[in-house]
Structure 1
Amino acid sequence: MKILIKELATSRWQVRLDQHAVTFRSEAEALAFTKTLEARLLAPHQIPGRQQRTAG
């Protein structure tokens, strides 16, 4: 996923995620959103429907 941060106008910032765009009131808000998004994308994920067996 390509993430791009760009200044639209005074006091407006946009984070583009491929074809989706989210607008923020400050660069700090845009950067915080991007940092959280990247952390979630890089976090380990479990495959749905797959259960671990327990010994017993």
Structure 2
Amino acid sequence: MKILIKEVATSQWQVRLDQHAVTFRSEAEALAFTRTLEARLQAPHKIPDRQQHAAG
């Protein structure tokens, strides 16, 4: 996933996630969002066991 941060207007920042965009009121808010997103993407993820899905 490509993540880009840019200023789109005075006091308005945009984080682009491929073709999706999220707008923030400050660069600090945009950076905080990006850090949280990157941490979640890099966090370990457990793949559910197929037997648990079949039983439930």
TM-score (norm 2): 0.85
Q: Does 1:27 align with 2:35?
A: no
Distance in structure 2 (CA, Å) of the matches to 1:19 and 1:45: 24
Instruction: Please give the per-residue CA displacement for 1:2-23, whole angstroms capped at 9, x wherever unaligned.
Output: 0000000100000000010000
The residue number in structure 2 matching 1:54 is none
Indicate yes or no: 2:37 matched with 1:37: yes
The structure richer in helix per residue is: 2
> 1:47 and 2:52 equivalent?
no
Q: Percent identity?
A: 86
Aligned residues: 50
Q: Tell me, what secondary structure is at the counterpart of 1:13?
A: strand
Unaligned runs of 5+ in 2: 51-56
Distance 2:21 2:9 in 1: 15
Match of 2:53 in 1: none
